[in-house]
Amino acid sequence: MISPVIAEKSVTFEVSMGNYGNGIDGANVSHRSHRSNGDGDSDEDSLSEDDHTLLLRETATIDPNMRTTSPAAKPVTHDKYYYHMPFFEQKPCIYMTSYWHDHKRRLYNSNIIQKIMDKLDEGIQDVQEMIKTNEDRPDRRLRGVAEELINGCVAYSRLVKGTGGPAAGRSKLDRERHKMCLRDIDGIANEVRKLKKRLKMSTYKEKLSKMKTLLQKLKCFCEDPQHSIPDIFIWMLSGRRRVAYSRITARQILHSVCAEECGQHCGKIQTLFLKLPGKKRLGTHGWTIQAKLELYLWLGLAKNKRDYLNGLPTGYEVIRTGTGLYSPPMYLRYQDRQQYELRAHLYQGRGLIASDDSGLSDPFAKVIFSTHCDVTQVIDETLNPTWDQTLVIPNITLFGRAEELRDDPPMIIVEIFDRDTVGKDEFIGRAVAKPVVKMNNESYEPPRFPPKLDWFQTYRGSNKAGEILASFELLQIKMGIDLEESSKITESVKTDQGHKFIVPRGIRPILAKHRVEVLFWGLRDLKRVQLISVDRPRVDIEIAGRCISSSIIQNYKKNPNFSDPVKFIEDVDLPEIEYWCPPISITAVDCRAFGRTTLVGTHIISNISKFVFRSPDKSKIFTGLKNNGVATETTDVFVDIDHQSTLATDMQIDMIGFGGEEPKTKEEEDSALDETALDWWSKYFASVETLAEEKKKYEEDKIQDLFNEENDDGGMNNDGDVNTLISANDDVQKEKRFGKNFLKGAMGAVMQAKKNFAAPVRRLKKQKEQIDELKIFDTELENCSEFTNFTDLLHSFDLYRGKREEMADELSDQKRIVGTFKGAFRIYRYPLPVYVEQPDAQYGMFKGLPSNEPIHVMARVYIVRATDLHPTDPNGKADPYVVVSLGSNKNNDKENYISKQLNPIFGKAFDFEATFPQESVLTVQIFDWDLLSSDDLIGETKIDLENRFYSKHRPTCGLAEKYAIFGYNQWRDPQKPSQILHKLCKEMKVDGPHFSPGKVRVGKKIFTGPIELEDENGHKKPSDEHVALVALRHWEEIPKFGNKLVPEHVETRSLYSPEKPGIEQGRVELWVDMFPMDMPPPGPPVDISPRKPKSFQLRVIIWNTDDVVLQDDDFFTGDKASDIYVKGWLLGDDKQETDIHYRSLTGEGNFNWRFIFPFDYLIAEEKCVITKKESVFSWDETEFKIPPRLNLQVWDSDHFSADDFLGSLTLDLTRFPRGAKNSNRCTLNLASEEDESSDVPMVSLFKQRRIKGWWPFTAKSEQDELEITGKVEAEISLLTVEDAEKNPAGSGRDEPSPLEKPNRPDTSFVWFMNPLKSLRYLICARYKWLIIKIVIVVILLALLVLFIYSSPSWIMKKIVGA
pLDDT at res. 1228:
87
> Is the per-residue pLDDT at 628 higher than 80?
no
Mean pLDDT of 683-690: 89
> Is the per-residue pLDDT at 555 higher than 60?
yes
Rounded to whole angstroms, the Cα distance separating 438 from 405 reads 10
pLDDT at res. 424:
83
Residue 940 · residue 923 · CB < 8 Å = yes
Nearest to 344 by CA among 321, 318, 325, 370: 370
| Residue 718 binned pLDDT confidence (cut-offs 50, 70, 90) | very low
> Is beta strand 436-438 parallel, antiparallel or unpaired with respect to 463-477?
parallel
Instruction: Tell me which of 844 and 400 has the higher pLDDT.
Output: 844
Strand stretches in 592-673, DSSP E: 597-605, 637-638
| Residue 184 binned pLDDT confidence (cut-offs 50, 70, 90) | very high
| Residue 164 binned pLDDT confidence (cut-offs 50, 70, 90) | low
pLDDT at res. 35:
42
> Is the per-residue pLDDT at 768 higher than 60?
no
Per cent of the chain over pLDDT 70 is 82
> Is the per-residue pLDDT at 1115 higher than 50?
yes
Q: What angle in degrees, to the nearest 10, is found between the helix axes of 204-222 and 104-132?
A: 160
pLDDT at res. 1362:
57
pLDDT at res. 1283:
93
Residues in the chain: 1362
pLDDT at res. 720:
37
Give the CA count within 13 Å in the CB-facing half-sphere of 1014: 7
Mean pLDDT of 166-179: 75
Range in 50-59, 93-102, 1255-1264 the model is least confident about: 50-59
Mean pLDDT of 218-241: 87
Predicted TM-score (pTM) of this structure: 0.73
Instruction: Tell me which of 754 and 910 has the higher pLDDT.
Output: 910
pLDDT at res. 944:
93
Nearest to 760 by CA among 1240, 1248, 1247: 1240
pLDDT at res. 1233:
57
Contacts of 178 (CB under 8 A, 6+ apart): 109, 160, 163, 164, 168, 169
Dihedral (Cα; 1058, 1064, 1068, 1072), 10-degree rounding: 60
Strand stretches in 675-714, DSSP E: none
> Is the per-residue pLDDT at 304 higher than 70?
yes
pLDDT at res. 538:
95
Range in 33-47, 946-960, 1006-1020 the model is least confident about: 33-47
Nearest to 1041 by CA among 848, 859, 1318: 848
Question: pLDDT tens digit string along 905-932?
Answer: 999 999 999 999 989 999 999 999 988 8
> Is the per-residue pLDDT at 325 higher than 70?
no
Range in 126-130, 133-137, 160-164, 293-297 the model is least confident about: 160-164
| Residue 737 binned pLDDT confidence (cut-offs 50, 70, 90) | very low
> Is the per-residue pLDDT at 58 higher than 50?
no
Mean pLDDT of 1221-1233: 84
Rounded to whole angstroms, the Cα distance separating 101 from 955 reads 70
Range in 794-808, 1141-1155, 1340-1354 the model is least confident about: 794-808
Per cent of the chain over pLDDT 90 is 38
| pLDDT, mean over the chain | 81
| Residue 95 binned pLDDT confidence (cut-offs 50, 70, 90) | confident
| Residue 633 binned pLDDT confidence (cut-offs 50, 70, 90) | very low
Rounded to whole angstroms, the Cα distance separating 430 from 457 reads 8
Q: Which residues of 1111-1148 are buried (b: 16+ CB within 10 A; e: fewer)?
A: beebeeeeeebbbbbbbbbbbeeeebbbebbbbbeebb
Question: pLDDT tens digit string along 401-441?
Answer: 888 888 888 889 999 999 888 878 888 999 999 999 998 88
916 alpha carbon, distance to own chain's centre: 36
| Residue 120 binned pLDDT confidence (cut-offs 50, 70, 90) | very high
pLDDT at res. 60:
36
| Residue 1352 binned pLDDT confidence (cut-offs 50, 70, 90) | confident
**Cα Rg, the chain, nearest whole Å:** 44
pLDDT at res. 742:
38
Range in 517-526, 764-773, 861-870, 1347-1356 the model is least confident about: 764-773
> Is the per-residue pLDDT at 943 higher than 50?
yes
pLDDT at res. 284:
67
